[in-house]
Amino acid sequence: MNLALTSGASEAAPLVNRKVTTQTQSDDQSNSKEADPRIIRRWKIRRLSQRVLCGALPETEWPRIVRCGWSMNALVALLGSKGKTSWSGIEHCNSIWCCPLCSARIREGRRSEIQEGFEASKNLGWKAYFVTFTVPHSISTSLGSSLGGLREAYKKMRRYSSLKSFFSKVEGVITSTEIQVGSSGFHPHRHCIFFTSSEIGEEEVSSLKSAWAKAVVKEGLAKPNESVGVVVKEATTAGISNYLSKVQENKVSLEMTRSDLKQGRVNGKTEWHCSPFDLLDSEVELPISVEQRYKLWLEYYEGSKGVSAIRWSRGLKKKLGVGEVADEELGALSPNEVEAELRWLKEEYRQLFKKQPFALAQAQALFKVGKYEEAQKVAGGELLLNNEPLAKRNATTD
Ligand SMILES: [Zn+2]
């Protein structure tokens, strides 16, 4: 597979004090312990996702993720500020499902929005309920049919007259669709935060459960077990602590958005479940072959295509005073908050991306923890710190 970029003439002004080292990630183990390991993992998974998809699909069908990270501008820059990093001058695929880097960036941005919305809802005196909907599935259920069934059943259920009383109290809803995979097939489910004007009673919860079971059966799937098909919890920070402890962060929005943080599990010799990204992580051991892992990844790619992961009901953001931000704008550092910038000419970055991508990953992981000089040692480039003039930045900030 050829990941080479088309060459473009460099329009950048010559950079001074350029110091390109040839050190690689593995040359500098002493720092790697403190760099953020999740970033390196995401780079590795993105690389493999690109390879698997390129290898399996004809070139005309290659998705945008194949080009994610490619240089776009004459200058490419890694930007850092207080535990945050962003890139300018490169392509972002914005695939929340298949690109671990874009997914983390977008999910983190959406997580903050949800947290903001949740806080605002408390000021309005609303209640918030965290509700999870699942559908029964087996190894023979394709992701297309279980995910399609989940989405259609949800739409159908909303029209049921038995839920009139419930929905009359609903001011808005945030839905987050999530997909896990395991020995019993793909497990799509939907987490929702229902914001309501008043409390939801036992009767309404039980109507919700029956309505869900009915809608799922209508979609041709097996009848969900009423105790697990729908799980309702009041979303006070204390009340949902069981959910949140899974990801060890006491924030209501994390369960909704950060499926990329969850870890795979293997029970016994044949039972396992994990996040789809774990399929491409060689450090996550699973009792299936590499070929099976790639096959599942392709099914996941096909099945999640075009499905929106996180959605707010119409008008809810306005009611809660939360602004609209496009996926591609999330996570971008603004020029005035940038503390440090490591930049490369297009061709130089291109070579690194092709031959030493994990040096770039390591640089980003070091930038995340404020080790700017060490990042430069690993990946070269020109380093500009905040006490140096940054006004001549040629690349666009993303
Ligand atoms: Zn991407």
> Which spans in 57-163 are helix H?
100-123, 143-157
Ligand 1 centre distance from Cα of residue 364 (Å): 15
Distance (Å, whole) CA 294 – CA 61: 17
Assess whether 64 and 44 both reside in one domain. Answer: yes
Assess whether 259 and 177 both reside in one domain. Answer: yes
Ligand 1 centre distance from Cα of residue 203 (Å): 44
Assess whether 115 and 211 both reside in one domain. Answer: yes
313 lies in some domain: no
Ligand 1 centre distance from Cα of residue 136 (Å): 31
Distance (Å, whole) CA 127 – CA 132: 16
Assess whether 197 and 251 both reside in one domain. Answer: yes
Q: Which helix (H) or strand (E) covers residue 26, if one does?
A: none
Ligand 1 centre distance from Cα of residue 132 (Å): 28
Are 104 and 260 a contacting pair, CB within 8 Å?
Answer: yes
pLDDT at 110: 85
Phi, psi (degrees; rounded to nearest 5) at 311: -140, 140
Ligand 1 centre distance from Cα of residue 288 (Å): 26
Are 143 and 179 a contacting pair, CB within 8 Å?
Answer: yes
What's the Rg (C-alpha) of the chain? 23
3 lies in some domain: no
Q: Which helix (H) or strand (E) covers residue 100, if one does?
A: helix 100-123
Assess whether 150 and 271 both reside in one domain. Answer: yes
Q: Mean pLDDT per 10-residue run, the chain (398 residues)?
A: 32 30 35 71 94 95 95 95 92 94 88 85 91 89 93 95 94 92 91 92 92 94 84 67 34 49 62 89 89 96 92 95 89 89 96 95 94 95 76 42
Assess whether 77 and 152 both reside in one domain. Answer: no
Assess whether 113 and 244 both reside in one domain. Answer: yes
Ligand 1 centre distance from Cα of residue 47 (Å): 10
pLDDT at 387: 57
Q: Does residue 381 come out as left (phi exceeding 0), alpha (psi in the -120 to 50 range) or beta?
A: left
**Residue with tokens 């016994």, as numbered in its chain:** 268
Range of the domain at 85: 25-96+332-385
Ligand 1 centre distance from Cα of residue 64 (Å): 8
Q: What tokens were used for 229?
A: 């098909």
Ligand 1 centre distance from Cα of residue 217 (Å): 36
Ligand 1 centre distance from Cα of residue 202 (Å): 43
Assess whether 297 and 362 both reside in one domain. Answer: no
Assess whether 174 and 258 both reside in one domain. Answer: yes
Ligand 1 centre distance from Cα of residue 354 (Å): 16
Ligand 1 centre distance from Cα of residue 75 (Å): 19
Q: Which of 354, 294, 350 is nearest to 53 (CA)?
A: 294
Domain count, the chain: 2
Full DSSP string of 302-318: HHHTT--SEEEPTTHHH
Assess whether 85 and 46 both reside in one domain. Answer: yes
Quick one: 179 exposed, middle or buried, by C-beta within 10 A (0-12, 13-18, 19+)?
A: buried
Ligand 1 centre distance from Cα of residue 335 (Å): 22
pLDDT at 29: 40
Ligand 1 centre distance from Cα of residue 68 (Å): 5
Ligand 1 centre distance from Cα of residue 130 (Å): 29
Ligand 1 centre distance from Cα of residue 395 (Å): 19
* Strand-strand pairing, 265-267 and 271-274: antiparallel
Are 33 and 362 a contacting pair, CB within 8 Å?
Answer: no
Distance (Å, whole) CA 323 – CA 76: 29
Ligand 1 centre distance from Cα of residue 94 (Å): 5
Assess whether 207 and 88 both reside in one domain. Answer: no
Ligand 1 centre distance from Cα of residue 255 (Å): 22
Are 135 and 240 a contacting pair, CB within 8 Å?
Answer: no
